[in-house]
A and B are shown apart, each in its own frame.
Chain A
Amino acid sequence: MSGPILQVENLRTYFHTADGLVRAVDGVSFNLGRGETLGIVGESGCGKSITCLSILRLVDPPGRIEPDSTIRLGDRELTRLSEAAMREVRGNAISMIFQEPMTSLNPVWTIGGQIAEAVRLHRGVGRAEGRERAAEMLGLVGLANPQRRLDDYPHELSGGMRQRAMIAMALACDPDVLLADEPTTALDVTIQAEILDLLCELQERLGMAMIFVSHDLGVVAQIADRVIVMYAGQVLEEGATEGIFSRPRHPYTEGLLRSTPKLTAKLPRLATIAGSVPSPKRWPAGCRFHPRCPHAWDRCREDVPPLLAVDQPSRCWLEEEPQRRTRRGEAGG
C-alpha cells in the first residue's frame, strides 16, 4: 500500500474579523488514504466545513490559512501553490459537492454545458468530446436518458436529480479526492439513501478517496471507513468507524451517540449533553469540551489535552487518569 493521498497537518484557519480573532479550525491533522472514506462529524460551528474549504483554499478574507499549516496532496504542498496552480487542482484532482446543489449549479446554464465546461477547462478537449463526457457522467450517476438531460436547466430537475448532476460534474475529471460537505442533508430520507448508495458505488468503481462531512452520525456510520470527531475547531477523537461507534473513548463522542434518538428502542428520556456549543470567538480554556463534560476536573479546566492513546486517539485527560471517570456520565446527565 502506498502512502496517503492527502495529508493535513496542523491546519489552522483563522478569521481576522473586526470583532476579534475567530479560530474556526485550530490545529487539525489527519491523513486520507487512497480509496478511503473519511467521515468528519461534529455539530454546527465545529469547523468541519471550513476544514474542507481550506483544503481547496476557498476560504475568503478575513479568513486565512495560518502559517505552518500544511496540506499535502501527493507531493504537492497546496498551501504554497499559486492561485493559477490551485485552479488546476480544484475540480480536477480534488472536487467538492455541497449540501445545496442550486448554489453550485449555474441556474441559467444547462446541466450538460456546465459539466462539459469543466472537462474542457481541465482536459483541454473539444466541445463535442466534452458533451460526450457529460452524457457519460450523467448516465454514470443514474440519470435516465442522459442525452436528453444534457439540455435541461437545473430548475427542471428534482432535488435528488440535481444532487446527482452535481456529483456528475464533480467526478467528470476523475478526481483523486472528493470532498462531500453534507451532500444529503437537504434530501428526503428515501432520496438520501439512494445518493449514499450511489456515492459508495462510484467510489468503488472509480477508486477515489472521499471526505464525507456530516452532522448526522447515522449517515457517517453507514458510509465512512474511518471517522474524526470535531469540536470547537479541533479533532477530539479519531478511529475506525466501528470503534468510534461501538467503543467511543471521548466523553463528547459518547454524549453525541447517546443523545441521538434511535429507531430501535423507545426510551423514557434521551441522554443529553449539558449546555450548548461554545462560540468560536471564545473557546473555553483547557479542554474545550470541559464546560459540558460530566467528568471534568481541575486539570481539564487548565491544561489542554493532546490527542492521547494510539489506536483510537482521544483528546481527553481520562486517557491518562481513567479513574476520574464519574458515574454521572454513564447515567446520561
Chain B
Amino acid sequence: MSVPPLVEVSDLVKHFPIRKGVLGRTQGHVRAVDGVSLDIRRGETVALVGESGCGKSTTARLILRLLEPTAGRVIFDGQDTLALDRTGLMRFRRRAQIIFQDPFGSLNPRMTVGAVLREALHVHGIARGEAAARCVAELLDAVGLHADDAGRYPHEFSGGQRQRVGIARALAVEPEFIVADEPVSALDVSVQAQVLNLLADLQQRFRLTYLFITHDLSVVRHLADRVAVMYLGRLVELGDSDSVFGDPLHPYTRALLSAVPVLESEGRGQRIVLSGDVGHAASAPPGCPFHPRCPHPEKDETCRAVVPVLEERGGGAQAACHRI
C-alpha cells in the first residue's frame, strides 16, 4: 500500500486575459500554465525548473491558491484546496508556506523582525505574550540568527540574513509544505551555500516537503529528489534527479543542461545551441511548444501539429516528446 502524496496537482491551467483599448476588451490569453500535473510526496523535494516566463512561479502560486486557477485541481493532503471555505483556507495557509526570492520585498520595513514573527504567531493563534517571545527566539535560533536580532529592522540585515528571516517567518506557523521561489538567486555564492544547507537541515529537522522553484540547475542538482522541467506553461520532463541530470530525455532538458557553465574542464559535453528565443506564452506555437527551437534531427509535422503528452518512459522518468 502506498502513502498518498501530500500534494496532487492535476491538469492545472491558468490563462491571463490580455486586455486592450479603452473598453478593456479581451484580445487573447497568456497561457501561463497550460495543463500541469504533478504529485509531491511527503518529505521530498521537488524542483520545478525552467527559464523566465515558463510559468513556474505561476504554478507555485496556483498550488498555494494565491492565484485562482482557470481549470484543474490541487489536492492537499486529501482536500481539494479550491473547495476550501474561509476557515479551511486559513488552516491550509498554516500548513503551506512560501519563501520568496527577495525577502526585503516581503518584509515590512517598519516592523522589527520580532514583530514580523510575532504577527504570524498571533494571526494563526499559535502563541501570544511570553510564549510568543520564546517562539521567536527559538525560530531565530533555528535559522542561525541570534535571539537579539528580534529587535532589529529588515534593512539592518545582509541579504543572506534577510533570507534567513524570510525562512523563519515561513517556519513560524509550523508548516508541512514550503514553496521556495528562487530563494537563493539573489544571494552571493558563499552565502547561497549557507542558505541551501540551512534549508536541507530544516527539512530533516521539521520533516518538511519542498517545492523548489529555480532557474539554476546546479542548485537543483544538489537539493532535489525529483525534477520537473517546464517550458511555455507545460511540463516537458519529470523524473528522479539522478535520471534527469544523468540521462535527460527531452531535447529541451538536454540543451538546458548543456548550456550551464561548469567549472570542471572535463565532464563538459558538447553544448547544444538552441536557435531563437524562449517563446512567449501569449503566442505559444501549436503542437509541441518547444518545436520552433528543437534541435532534434527528426522533428516533423507531428511535432508542429500535435501537443505531446507527458508519458512514462521507464525508470520513473516521464517526458513529453514525440521523438523519444
Contacts and interface: CB of A to CB of B under 8 A. Distances in A.
Contacts of B3: none
A262 B190 contact: no
B262 A218 contact: yes
A189 B219 CA distance: 13
B26 interface: no
B218 A263 contact: yes
Interface in A151-204: 158-161, 188-194, 196-197
B51 A189 contact: yes
Nearest to A186: B52
Contacts of B52: 159, 188
A280 to B, nearest CB: 13
B277 A218 contact: no
Contacts of A160: 277
Given A264-B262, A276-B188, 10 more contacts: A161-B277, A191-B51, A215-B188, A259-B189, A261-B219, A261-B221, A265-B221, A266-B221, A269-B200, A276-B191
Given A261-B221, A266-B222, A192 B158 contact: no
Given A266-B241, A276-B160, A256 B189 contact: yes
- Identify whether the interface residues of B are mostly helix, strand, loop, or mixed: helix
Given A193-B259, A222-B261, A266-B222, A188 B278 contact: yes
Q: Which of B190, B193, B222, B258 has the most CB of A within 10 A?
A: B190
Nearest to A46: B188
A262 B264 contact: yes
A273 B263 contact: no
Interface of B: 51-52, 158-161, 188-194, 196-197, 200, 215-219, 221-222, 241-242, 245, 255-265, 267, 271, 273-274, 277-278
A263 B219 CA distance: 8
B261 A221 contact: yes
Interface of A: 43-44, 158-161, 188-194, 196-197, 215-219, 221-222, 242, 245-246, 255-257, 259-267, 269-273, 276-277, 292
Q: Which of A43, A161, A190, A192 has the most CB of B within 10 A?
A: A190
B218 A190 contact: no
Given A191-B278, A262-B218, A43 B188 contact: yes
5 contacts: A159-B52, A222-B261, A261-B219, A270-B196, A271-B193
Given A216-B261, A221-B263, A259 B193 contact: yes
A218 B193 contact: no
A226 to B, nearest CB: 16
Contacts of B222: 261-262, 266-267, 270
A245 B260 CA distance: 17
Nearest to A262: B218
A159 B277 CA distance: 9
A280 B63 CA distance: 42
Nearest to A161: B277
Nearest to B161: A276
A333 B189 CA distance: 15
A272 B158 contact: no
A261 B188 contact: no
B278 A270 contact: no
A191 B278 CA distance: 9
A262 B189 contact: no
B255 A190 contact: yes
B264 A44 contact: no
Contacts of A189: 51, 215, 217, 256, 259-260
B260 A262 contact: no
Contact of A217 (B245, B256, B259, B263): B263
B78 to A, nearest CB: 32
Contacts of B160: 276
A158 to B, nearest CB: 4
Nearest to A192: B259
A260 B259 contact: no
A43 B189 contact: yes
Nearest to B157: A276
B274 A255 contact: no
Nearest to B293: A190
A263 B221 contact: yes
Contact of B277 (A158, A263, A265): A158
Nearest to B224: A266
Nearest to B258: A193
A265 to B, nearest CB: 8
B221 A219 contact: no
A265 B222 CA distance: 8
A92 to B, nearest CB: 31
B127 to A, nearest CB: 30
A277 B278 CA distance: 35
B253 to A, nearest CB: 11
A190 B278 contact: yes
A217 to B, nearest CB: 6
Contacts of A276: 158-161, 188, 190-191
Given A260-B189, A269-B200, A197 B260 contact: no
A89 to B, nearest CB: 31
Contacts of B241: 266
Q: Which 5 A-B pairs give the minimum distances between C-beta atoms? A: A218-B261, A259-B193, A273-B190, A188-B51, A43-B188
A216 B215 CA distance: 14
Q: Which of A193, A196, A219, A256 has the most CB of B within 10 A?
A: A193
Contacts of A245: 263, 265
A271 B190 CA distance: 9
B267 to A, nearest CB: 5
Given A190-B51, A216-B261, A277 B273 contact: no
Contacts of B242: 266
Contacts of A192: 259, 261
Q: Which of B193, B242, B255 has the most CB of A within 10 A?
A: B193
B197 A269 contact: yes
Q: Which of A189, A246, A273 has the most CB of B within 10 A?
A: A189
Contacts of A273: 190, 193
Given A219-B261, A263-B260, A188 B215 contact: yes
